[in-house]
Structure 1
Amino acid sequence: MAGKRNTDEMRDRVVLGEFGVRNVHTTDFPGNYPGYEDAWDQRRFEEAFRVDIIREEEGELEFDMVGIDAAIANAFRRILLAEVPTMAVEKVFVYNNTSIVQDEILAHRLGLIPIRADPRLFEYRNQVYSKHMTWVPLGNQTDLFPDADFRPVHDDILIALLRPGQEIDVLMHCVKGIGKDHAKFSPVATASYRLLPDITLLQPIEDEAAELLQKCFSPGVIEIQNIKGKKVARVANARLDTFSREVFRHEGLKNLVRLARVRNHYIFSVESTGILPPDVLVSEAIKILMGKCQRFLNELDSVPME
């Protein structure tokens, strides 16, 4: 039983060797491995899947998503980057610009300033033809959004340096958009994921070897305990490791440590630009992914059966 348990555990690990990576599988058939009956089962997926919030600070969120395939994790990351909508400056009407900054550069800078305006209150622009030309007053927007506080997220973003007597007088129009149309609409400064590190000491490592091992990893990964007068290394927090593979440079250590990553345990880091809190961005990304899935199911239902 112990042998089978170890085999099952290794099946769930991506092992990092000195010159390559072992136990890597293709995602053409997610969750399937040679020699195992791993057909996808909804009940088993629901039992294994979970989301753990690890750290939540102003503008930043770190959470674990466990029990999914790499294709789902990457889809979620790409939606955060490119498909969660925001508001950004689209048109800049320059009435006066006597600064050293050219009009085109000024407009580009203005477009990259995050705007604190909830995009869920607005609609996307439609494609407009000549038949759609009509006069629409802008004055009633005050009545439509009485509690709105639309403004730049940050007050200290430098746009241009003005010399005495110079001025910039512009009118800006903001529209709703998504990151895959233009980077200025991306709601995150960064959205990334990595697999949970798994570090195993294959035998006791003591004294000078323990101190050398500690230096091979990121701070906090390996700690040294004093046991019966000997310095003994132990894995304190593998999550902090960045897998530099420094340990493989030392002949006396490289066969004493197994470096791996948990195959279905993803550590997500989301940093918002400040337009919306990161937890709201994650919720919006989940809604978009659910909508994509529903559209796909609807397409399948519409296919005629032969």
Structure 2
Amino acid sequence: MAPLVPSQEELQRRRIIGINAETVTNIPSTDFPGHWPGESHSWALDKFKNGFNVEFHRNDPYEASFSLIGLDAAVANAFRRILMAEIPTLAIEYVFVHNNTSVIQDEVLAQRLGLIPLKGSVEGINWMQWFRKESEEDDGTPADTPSDFNTVVMHLDVECTINADAEPGEQDPRKLYHNAHVYAKDLTFHAVGRQEEYFAGDGAIQPVNPDILIAKLRPGQVIQLEMHCIKGIGADHAKFSPVATASYRLLPDIKIERPIIGEDAKKFAKCFPKGVITLEPVTSAEASRPGSGYEGHAGELKAVVRDAFNDTVSRECLRHEEFQGKVKLGRVRDHFIFNVESTGQFESDVLFLEAVKVLKLKCARWKRGLSDLMA
């Protein structure tokens, strides 16, 4: 017996998660074998290729927005978690303070420095190896020593002095003194060994934002320190995370099931963010068609869904009695709208490709482990 083939209308209904006034319905995914009697939902590569799609909505160097269509929520969430916690970057790990006479304590200054996002040659960072730190457990494993292939060295050496050329009566400390404010741009990078090959020119290690304020000094105060940057991932510490935000939301679905006309239409439009609902005049053809609900309303304004993408699914329209039974809200379960904001090490669209590489490696590792179990 051939498997049953559900209609497109039924398949579309299954894709929608219902957003009600107080509840959310149709949450679990049902496209797996055995859930629907007589239907075949076995996974197939060709079927996945035909159903999967990527749409870009915004592609700036530090922020990207795109849609992944045709994925399961588990895979989409795996990409989100990898973006935040498993793509390696560089960050300051060790700070050796030689002299610090500022008002900021050594440990606070070190913590501020560690959170400064750094950027450099992606090829160089991929070339660098992991720095094995001393284990908290006495397992006899020796810690690595700093080398050109596992440690990047930066320095900060500033002293605040009086500006003899300042105008009489000047009140701005930045004009009264030299180095009154210490910024991220004051960090200097010193390449050693093969780092001169990988981190040269525009690919040199440097702060993403040179204007991050580190400390404020006054005449006679000095900061002299050496910083060691190592490779790490966000799962170890947030300072290694390559993203400021990595999130997704499901595509909103708005269906107007009964006509909303006149003042009700204007009120309905105000229940949504600007641009989601538009007002259009009822045409003569609609007003003359029996059963359309627009009979006798030719020329009046009606509510029409213009762009559900921008909706925040606030449910505001479900709180008004005049809209009861006229609108149905939902979200498309397999349409994930990602928003990725890079901290600067990687461009925002490249970050997702890096996440794909990490997931492929994890799958290959799992496959090897499964083969070993089966052997």
Query: Normalized against structure 1, the TM-score is what?
Result: 0.91
Q: Residue 277 of structure 1 corresponds to which residue in structure 2? A: 347
Q: Residue 126 of structure 2 corresponds to which residue in structure 1? A: 120
Q: Residue 215 of structure 2 corresponds to which residue in structure 1? A: 160
Q: Deviation digits for residues 149-207 of structure 1, max 9, x if unmatched? A: 11111111111122232221111000000000000000000000111111000011111
Structure 2 Cα separation of the partners of residues 73 and 98 of structure 1: 49
CA shift at 1:48, angstroms? 0.4
Structure 1 Cα separation of the partners of residues 262 and 143 of structure 2: 79
Structure 2 Cα separation of the partners of residues 231 and 191 of structure 1: 40
Q: Deviation digits for residues 258-291 of structure 1, max 9, x if unmatched? A: 1011111110110000111011111111000011
- CA pair 166-30 structure 1, distance change in 2 beyond 3 A: farther
Letter in 2 for 1:140: G
CA shift at 1:302, angstroms? 1.2
Contact 1:84 1:186 in 2 (8 A): yes
Structure 1 Cα separation of the partners of residues 220 and 252 of structure 2: 58
Listed as ranges, the gaps of 5+ residues in structure 2 are 1-5, 135-139, 149-190, 283-297
Structure 1 Cα separation of the partners of residues 245 and 141 of structure 2: 40
Q: Residue 220 of structure 1 corresponds to which residue in structure 2? A: 275
Structure 2 Cα separation of the partners of residues 146 and 34 of structure 1: 57
User: Tell me, what secondary structure is at the counterpart of 2:374?
Assistant: coil
Q: Deviation digits for residues 19-52 of structure 1, max 9, x if unmatched? A: 101111169x868754443222222111101111
1:11 has 2:14 as partner: yes
Q: Residue 264 of structure 1 corresponds to which residue in structure 2? A: 334
Contact 2:133 2:144 in 1 (8 A): no
- CA pair 131-223 structure 1, distance change in 2 beyond 3 A: closer
Structure 2 Cα separation of the partners of residues 80 and 187 of structure 1: 7
Larger displacement relative to structure 2 (14-23 or 120-129): 120-129
Structure 2 Cα separation of the partners of residues 102 and 179 of structure 1: 26
Structure 2 Cα separation of the partners of residues 88 and 44 of structure 1: 42
1:287 has 2:342 as partner: no
Contact 2:132 2:143 in 1 (8 A): no
Map 1:173-192 to 2 at 5 A.
Answer: 173-192=228-247
User: Tell me, what secondary structure is at the counterpart of 2:13?
Assistant: helix
CA shift at 1:292, angstroms? 0.8
Structure 2 Cα separation of the partners of residues 205 and 134 of structure 1: 71
Map 1:77-226 to 2 at 5 A.
Answer: 77-117=80-120, 118=122, 119-126=125-132, 139-145=192-198, 147=200, 148-226=203-281
Structure 2 Cα separation of the partners of residues 160 and 109 of structure 1: 9
Contact 1:30 1:69 in 2 (8 A): no
User: Tell me, what secondary structure is at the counterpart of 2:239?
Assistant: helix
CA shift at 1:132, angstroms? 6.9
Residue 64 of structure 1: which of 61, 64, 67 is its match? Answer: 67
- CA pair 143-24 structure 1, distance change in 2 beyond 3 A: closer
User: Tell me, what secondary structure is at the counterpart of 2:216?
Assistant: coil
CA shift at 1:102, angstroms? 0.8
When the two chains are superposed, the root-mean-square deviation of aligned CA atoms in Å is: 2.3
User: Tell me, what secondary structure is at the counterpart of 2:213?
Assistant: coil
Letter in 2 for 1:67: G
Query: Normalized against structure 2, the TM-score is what?
Result: 0.75
Contact 2:258 2:325 in 1 (8 A): no
Q: Kindly name which structure, 1 or 2, has the bigger radius of gyration based on alpha carbons.
A: 2
- CA pair 4-257 structure 1, distance change in 2 beyond 3 A: same
Listed as ranges, the gaps of 5+ residues in structure 1 are none
Count the aligned residue pairs: 302
Larger displacement relative to structure 2 (165-174 or 189-198): 165-174
